Structure 1
């Protein structure tokens, strides 16, 4: 498994100004805004459609902090991660399933770790 993408959440009042800062700060590295869910999240990356770094707007009571996504080899691995993470004391933040709003083959699960970080495991391959 490899890291698929990483990001963090900030309060909505700081979201737009922070996105603007990162647009400027990351330009010398070749990173630009590649994906956007207006007012909710922005993904940055080195080329079109590639967004390994994300910033999301989230109210503090829903958790601000880090988001870390690992890439799985198949859907079954995503399911197993979810089961084991919940058994180990994690909190559901999105059961395993397709997330077509990201792309048609995006199959992921989300669990908050014991200190509130959002950990995701995702598989991008089509299910036959």
Structure 2
């Protein structure tokens, strides 16, 4: 149902480097780069994450209550992506852990521009 989600960034080169490194373990890569917007994913037919500088040329602002959630497929990969994001300069917004007993495991970071990203696994 979701084709792609877009988050605003202040520095495209920095954002592309961050997400290229972070998402490489999920076999995701830049699929399309149009200067002010770049799409990351496994294929154009699957959901993608896009990073862009705002079209109106105003500063980007992380939305309060907005979040991109990525399901890497296991609790171990949640932990791996969380720690990798922190190593790449992200800040912690919730360490990895079981949030709902036997149902939801998650970790939360803020990327280099303050956008909130969750890594999660159900079960």
What TM-score bracket applies, with the shorter chain setting the length? Answer: 0.3 to 0.5
Indicate the structure (1 or 2) with the bigger Cα radius of gyration.
Answer: 1
TM-score (norm 2): 0.47
Q: Scaled by the length of structure 1, what TM-score is found?
A: 0.45
